Structure 1
């Protein structure tokens, strides 16, 4: 299968089908591997940077090797390669869950919305009111425009399904271990830094795609790139703040503020116009912009793949 056709089919399947909830997903296997290594680190007393780095490298290499091996099988290898390319993208599922939460919030079904948002974010949402749930939802969708689609598609185009799943292994490690808590500050150090490096360029490409999509769809406000850059740099993450700041300014609603992670209260920096709250109309604008940005980036990356690969 040509690289261009692989990219095209993977994007189409993700947007049309999302992640079928009843089928096993490779990320669950990777997550189980890290959970096992987490327990092993406890048992051996090795909750340190060296063990964390070795664990991430081991899981990433095993993931890439398994995908490469299956994709190289005769007769069924092309199908395996397509499946892993498609399974590594998650924009379709993200948008569907986001829309479901938005419908619940519009219908004042706060508890139903809370259950959906809890599955999309790592923060504690148990005490959030409707305004807090709107904000948490918007932050998750904006950040994951990169993490769930642009970055995986970038690495799929650059290094094929095997490289994509090496990246996904690092990203999964960061989502499980990359916290500055006493338990993970050392074990997750390498995972967090590796993910920062691998997502650095895609995060900034996401901002460009959002900006262009907002302009093409007539959604954009008079926003200065300097404002986005200033707010993005407030984030503790070198990457997460970029798509969040861009979405906040382009949609006209603030992100950041108080949040609770693992029982600890955190005050996140404010991004976007202060005091402007998220609501159904602003979230609908974000949804359209993320769809447009994803499609625009996909078209460009598939076009470039056709020229150079």
Structure 2
């Protein structure tokens, strides 16, 4: 099997495995192991009393470099390297499980099991959902589903096809750091500063690919793509993150439902920018969002894989 075939097949197989298997909870996932390591690093920094901002920056650079080196060594193992590459490619994608869990939570809401849905949604979002009504819970599901199309799928897939599994896992490392440390509260505002900024840089191009790919799929699905086209860039710029608004604004306008507004994080109320037109997230709109995200992921994967394989082949 030549290199171009390998370059093409590994991302494709990883895509299929992610949608088919998701993230089995019984199997130790690299991100969970990475999270424990990052907790240990954070505890060590606290124990030595050095500058949080400096040590946070050193952690971003140093740990990413270690991850790059470790993955490169694993990929170089004769015969096993290709299997390790395939596993790391599959494990680096995180959309299949998210869609499945969001779908299950939506079914609970449809069945009137509000408290069961609340518990399920609390495990998917960082906000406090204890006081949300049914409409608020549906909106929280819509926001996390659309935002994670980029964070959990398009961005890691982008780095998989551009840089291979090593680069993909550098992105996953930074993204995990941002998820764990990137809060702008008193505890993490300094320590997570460089993690948040680095994640913003790495996700910049993929987020825009995500938004425009959703727009294209929305037109195919005969959603309100004209409104999305007219308002995407304006609404995407409203969010605190330079990237999160792209998939969120596209989804909101395509499906005619609002995102943003008041939300509670770690006991503090925050007024997030309002994105999208007047409208609430109904059961039907959530189902259509699942379809939109699924097809946008597939189209993005095919586009990125074919494009970079052709670029690679042209340079041979």
Report the TM range for the smaller structure's normalisation: over 0.9
Deviations 1:192-212 (A, max 9, x none): 000000000100100111011
Match of 2:199 among 195, 201, 221: 195
In structure 2, the gaps of 5 or more residues are none
Please identify runs of 4+ aligned residues in structure 1 that moved more than 4 A.
Answer: none
- The C-alpha deviation readout for 1:61-105, integer Å capped at 9, x for no partner, is 222222211111112111001000000001111110110111001
Q: Deviations over 1:229-280 (max 9, x none)?
A: 1111111110011111111001100000111101100011110003x11110
Q: Corresponding residue for 2:67?
A: 63
Match of 1:104 in 2: 108
Secondary structure in structure 2 of the residue aligned to 1:22: coil
Residue number in structure 1 paired with 2:307: 304
Q: How far off is 1:226 after superposition?
A: 3.7
Give the Cα separation in 1 of the matches to 2:51 and 2:45. Answer: 5
CA RMSD of aligned residues (A): 1.2
Aligned with 1:285 (options 271, 278, 288): 288
Please report the TM-score for the alignment, with normalisation by the length of structure 1: 0.97
Q: Measure the CA separation in 1 of the matches of 2:51 and 2:31.
A: 23
> Deviation of residue 221 (structure 1)?
4.4
Partner SS, residue 269 of structure 1:
strand
Aligned-partner Cα distance in 1 for 2:113–2:264: 22
TM-score by structure 2 length?
Answer: 0.95
- Of 49, 52, 61 in structure 1, the residue corresponding to residue 53 of structure 2 is 49
| Distance in 1 between residues matched to 2:120 and 2:71, nearest whole Å | 31
Match of 1:168 in 2: 172
Say which of 221, 228, 234 aligns to 1:230. 234
Segment drifting more, 21-30 vs 225-234: 225-234
| Alignment of structure 1 residues 174-253 onto 2, 5 Å | 174-253=178-257
Q: Distance in 2 between matches of 1:163 and 1:22?
A: 26
Residues 1:278 and 1:224: Cα distance change in structure 2 (over 3 Å): closer
1:251–1:282 Cα contact (<8 Å) kept: yes
How many equivalent pairs are there?
A: 308
On the 8 A contact 1:200/1:238 being kept in 2, the answer is yes
> d(CA) in 2 for partners of 1:307 and 1:180?
41
5+ residue gaps, structure 1: none
